[in-house]
Chains A and B, each alone.
Chain A
Amino acid sequence: MNKTGKIYGINGPVVYLKGNTEFKMAEMVYVGKDRLVGEVIGLTKDRTTIQVYEETTGIKPGELVEGTGAPISVTLAPGILNNIFDGIERPLSEIAKEGGAYINRGTEVDSLDMEKRWEAHMTAEAGMRVSGGTIICEVQETSAIVHKVMLPPDLAGTLTKVMPDGAYTIRDTIAVLQKDDGTEQALTMMQKWPIRVPRPSSKRYPASKPLVTGQRILDTLFPIAKGGTAAVPGGFGTGKTMTQHQIAKWSDADIIIYIGCGERGNEMTQVLEEFSELVDPRSGNPLMDRTALIANTSNMPVAAREASIYTGITLAEYYRDMGYDVAIMADSTSRWAEALRELSGRLEEMPAEEGFPAYLASRLSAFYERAGLMMNLNGTEGSVSIIGAVSPQGGDFSEPVTQNTKRFVRCFWGLDKSLAYARHFPAIHWLTSYSEYISDLAPWYRDHVAKDFMDCRNRMMVILNQESSLMEIVKLIGSDVLPDDQKLVLEIARVVRLGFLQQNAFHPDDTCVPMEKQMKMMQTILYLYDKAKALVAQGMPMSVLKSENIFERVIAIKYDVPNNQLEDFEGYREEIDAFYDRVLEKNA
């Protein structure tokens, strides 16, 4: 029999119980006669504090609270992908079937479809010695992904019985395990895992390969590693969500977990619609087939918003354990931090900076440290990469969430308001952004893209930095007075900005660009720079160089060269040579 207690007081999403209730810390409870889901967050001798994941309107003191004996957990089994959940893994489409257009309180639905039969292929056999993580059977979960059913991490023993291949629901027994103490346990395809506890792995590898996103400024200038962490901070309207969408669509991760944490309802609808229609360029399957969405929109209860981040990362770790590369989009971690602040305020805790609780930094670090490239318990290699959007108050990066996030991520893609105002997208500013993975990933780029990739990348960064210091002068005295070689730097920087960094998410070719094309574009721009520099060194004025349309031609490469016709780049090299000869001839 589960323990119960009586409600004493209610304040927003926080409910108090009087007396010693014998609940456990972080235990999941059902609150009141509507059976709202809650979690124990504070225990003292004479008071128990519970945060409720649903609206508390209408709850009365004296109603019962029932414990479940277990912490808040997620259900892990086939059926997670191509699905949309709320912050505590309740499927929104099932809730809609029960309650219509609005989310009713106390809706009890199963996290995953318990009735659906999955075609399972057993990979283990009776008599086999198994330990946590061992793959027992495989299920084609969606067209894109094979779901590998594993032994829960905390179990070990010998399989005494394995069912034959066939169609099973996630509740059916598929094998029987004899534990080392002699007891037997029936295994199903389903396991539960508490959301606040990282799933174990054997070993952490250093970052070695990039998460290729098809976005030039990310892949070339500020790459993130598989198993890495990145923050995307930016004021409203600077394109955080767009950046996250682009990565979710085009990155080469196997699985995408998209967490809409305290964001707009229409945005989630858009992701759902768009991802169902779009096709993964690498596998040819619908993008939703590799995606799970967690939607806790801004008007949904605040406590569930706090939980949604953990729900998302637990799902990600589960797929990592199967040996997949998983990428998490957390949009936005600031809303999660604000949920912490809101609950902390209700609990009357002593606030630290800007009203945020003092444990903000440790919570953030605990979350980001769950990312990584791992050797799993079963020996496979998988990764979880976290890309967290940050919505700084007033667009000011000095606020606590941005600053604390910066300490725990190794990639920082700072979005810039003035770039967004000029509709330069992605509005990631090349001077404020950085990636600490550059040196880790240099060998990969050398082996898989080109030997001189890093040299080219660094040259481009130098040009952009030179431009920025020259612009200081230009702002004071205008560009006419600069010497020609500096004018050339400005012109090439313009080509880099417009032709390379700016990328059009709505253009069929430009929305996702393969590494080879990125490399060729970079080489072409730098080749043009070298040739033009030689001309300037021979005394040709910039006005003559600019009278040719070669700069515009190179800027338009992103639209004019289709992603599958990279041989066209030869033509550009010839054009640049011709431009060089023509200018020399004319002015000889």
Chain B
Amino acid sequence: MAIEYLGLSEINGPLIALEGVQDASYEEIVELTIDGTKRELGRIVECYEDKAVIQVFGGTDNMSLHNTHTKLTGHPMEIALSPEILGRTFNGIGQPIDGLGEVVSHIHRNVNGQPLNPVMREYPRNYIRTGFSAIDGLTTLIRGQKLPIFSGNGLPHDQLAAQLVRQASLGEDSEEEFAVIFAAMGVKHDVAEFFRRAFEESGVSEHVTMFLNLANDPVVERLITPKVALTAAEYLAFECGMHILVILTDMTSFAEAMREVSSSKGEIPSRKGYPGYLYSELAALYERAGIVQGVNGSVTQIPILTMPNDDITHPIPDLTGYITEGQIVLDRALHGQGVYPPISVLPSLSRLMKDGIGEGYTRGDHQALANQLFSSYAKVGDARALASVIGEDELSPIDKQYLLFGKAFEERFVGQGADDNRSIQETLDIGWELLRMLPREELDRIDTKILDVYYKAEQ
């Protein structure tokens, strides 16, 4: 039944063309054998009556027009899934690399996934306590949300993500099953190792599945890695009822890989050479977070991306921000001042926060407090800009108060130790303590009733 085709008609970067194929289908997976020994997987990316263009995951090194056998598998990319994948490590296309053998299961899933019907989604409302004041207080993470970390090279996004996994896993309702899917795309060996060790030290490695495509692994594999990881996540969440936290790092490498393949296909580039479908491709990944009605589990995504040249308007962070439900932005200046985590609160945002906090979730004053902190901290920026022109001494008394508030806010609210795991109460109380540094009439975002209760609380 399965015909093998000998030879190729063209090789161009990661793409090969095969003529005279019968019965090939779009996005089908093919198996390639080079010189009778080396095996590779490929995917049909363009398909005509008598010709197929195939993208080879492992790269086309050593291939010639004559030494390659191609076999059609008859189905799109699939992976085998079972709950046993927890604790295992795979490569970028879902093959085990931990020496523990293949995953044995009759359950196979198409990695491309399908769009979730909006009427079957459940709107996410339960917050995940991360123990970071800047996140819990101002950009609360909600179960089922996709909240990326916008970072830059040399900033501690890895530490932040690892600590977040450690602290979020110790949530209040720990009887529910919790697991982490970690997908690395083009990251350095050290980074992968850092995460492995971090998971081990915090005792969660039993509940972690890793998909690793490292910096020197084939570039094309990277395009599949997040899809494989999310397929595993959807399986564990919606079929096994677990709460899954997916960490995708580094989305920038994923987009770079897409640009590389796109240009070798000769496609018309749009902004900065990225293909026109970058938005759709990113959306197809990010939208796989969420909660399905009537199912116990959830998929929460924390993609990490390094902004090229710290530029938030670069297409990758820009398009990501338009798809995800908020973002956590890290700041180099804060990092330079030794503030950890260096979260720049003003551009950071959680879109789902408003429905997951307040009375019944966190505390009644949470939203008002957050608004006021944002607003007051924005004024700190104005005061600092003024001080840099006319000098601190010339500032009005209220501007000076803002400077003090800003410093305290960065040190005590944003900044916290690498082991500091704060409760929501602590976070909110610190927020009020800081607001008390400002006169009451400056607090214009808070209803007078809430001010009466909290502003005076400890005076």
Residues of A within 8 A of B (CB): 7-12, 16, 18, 55-62, 84, 92-93, 95-96, 99-104, 235-237, 260, 262, 264-266, 268-270, 272-273, 295, 297-300, 302, 335, 338, 341-342, 344-345, 348-349, 351, 354-356, 391, 393-396, 417-418, 421-424, 474-480, 498, 506, 549, 552, 555-556, 559
Contact = CB atoms under 8 A, between A and B. Distances in A.
B238 A338 contact: no
B411 to A, nearest CB: 21
A299 B283 CA distance: 5
Given A299-B283, A506-B367, A478 B395 contact: yes
Given A92-B117, A297-B118, A395 B280 contact: no
A175 to B, nearest CB: 35
Contact of A355 (B24, B118, B271, B374): B271
B59 interface: no
Nearest to A56: B26
B25 A59 contact: yes
A268 B116 CA distance: 12
A354 B118 contact: no
B108 interface: no
Interface stretch (B185-193, B195-203, B335-343, B440-448): B440-448
B204 to A, nearest CB: 27
Interface stretch (B4-12, B42-50, B91-99, B401-409): B42-50
B60 interface: no
Contacts of A101: 116-117, 120, 238, 292-293, 295
A55 B268 CA distance: 21
Contact of B321 (A10, A237, A348): A237
Given A57-B112, A265-B287, A298 B279 contact: yes
B26 A57 contact: yes
B124 A266 contact: yes
A7, A237, A299 pick with most chain B CB within 10 angstroms: A299
B123 interface: yes
B418 interface: no
Contacts of B49: 7-9, 18, 61-62
B352 A423 contact: no
A266 B27 contact: no
Nearest to A63: B25
B35 interface: no
B441 A424 contact: no
A264 B116 CA distance: 11
Interface stretch (B157-165, B246-254, B323-331): B323-331
B394 interface: yes
Size category of the binding interface on chain B:
35 or more
A102 B76 CA distance: 17
A93 B117 CA distance: 8
Contacts of A395: 313, 318
Q: Which 3 pairs from chain A and chain B are nearest by CB?
A: A394-B313, A355-B270, A298-B283
Contacts of B374: 421-423
A160 B342 CA distance: 78
B287 A297 contact: yes
A58, A236, A272, A354 pick with most chain B CB within 10 angstroms: A236
A9 B46 contact: yes
Contacts of A92: 117-119
Contact of B115 (A270, A297, A423): A297
Given A11-B46, A424-B375, A342 B277 contact: yes
A7 B76 CA distance: 19
B267 interface: yes
Contact of B26 (A10, A266, A342, A555): A10
Contacts of B347: 237, 417, 421
Contacts of B283: 262, 297-299
Nearest to A265: B118
Given A61-B48, A354-B271, A478-B394, A302 B123 contact: no
Contacts of B26: 10, 56-60
Contacts of B351: 237
A8, A59, A266, A422 pick with most chain B CB within 10 angstroms: A266
B337 to A, nearest CB: 20
B15 to A, nearest CB: 13
B122 interface: yes
Nearest to B396: A480
Contact of B396 (A7, A12, A422, A478): A478
B149 interface: no
B290 A266 contact: yes
Contacts of B116: 101-103, 265, 299
B51 to A, nearest CB: 8
B123 A266 contact: yes
B152 interface: no
B232 to A, nearest CB: 16
Given A61-B47, A101-B238, A269 B121 contact: yes
A537 to B, nearest CB: 24
Nearest to B53: A11
B85 interface: no
Given A298-B279, A338-B279, A103 B117 contact: yes
A342 B284 CA distance: 15
Nearest to A507: B447
A476 B23 contact: no
26 contacts: A18-B49, A58-B26, A61-B47, A84-B119, A92-B118, A101-B238, A102-B115, A103-B115, A237-B321, A264-B325, A265-B115, A266-B352, A270-B123, A302-B280, A338-B276, A344-B276, A355-B268, A355-B269, A355-B271, A394-B312, A395-B318, A422-B378, A423-B371, A475-B386, A478-B390, A555-B444
